[in-house]
Amino acid sequence: MDEQAKKISKIMVAIDFSVYSRDTLEYAVQTAALTDARMVLLNIINQKQIDAMEKAVNAEHPNRFDLAKFLGEEIDRRKMKLKTLIKGIPMLDDVPVKIRIGHGVPHVEILEAVKRENVDFLVFGPKGRTDFKEFLFGSVAEKLFRHSPVPVMSVRS
């Protein structure tokens, strides 16, 4: 095994629940098994979604949006979704996995989590669930490639 692979002890997998998420996760698990690495699965609740929900709730019931309640429920929902996603993935039982859910601007939160979790390698899908406007102003993937302090890999199906 080459020197670079030996240096990988913790892999972060950014999961956005796009159609690429399962393939991305499977690839990361294979890499973790080869390098004896631990894994951190990360999902970010996009600040745009939080803002849209706040606006919708407050339009119907002014000043009723409860951020803590919304985040608590959304974090629980996403943890369950991640647990469902990882079921049945070969070799996953042999890899230590930590699940983290954050919220904010996705690329910023992912980069902060990379540092906070002290990961050696970041894996994510080729594109998420963004729209054309996001494409014009730069994708999360592009920002991760440009600013990540650790090697990154985008997994194509």
- Could you report the average pLDDT of every consecutive run of 10 residues in the chain (157 residues)? 68 92 92 93 95 92 92 96 89 88 96 97 75 52 91 84
pLDDT at res. 134:
44
- What CATH number was assigned to the domain covering residues 3-149? 3.40.50.620
DSSP helix/strand/coil, 13 = strand
Q: Cβ contacts of residue 94 below 8 Å, gap of 6+?
A: 33
Write down the domain spans for the chain: 3-149
pLDDT at res. 133:
44
pLDDT at res. 69:
95
pLDDT at res. 3:
57
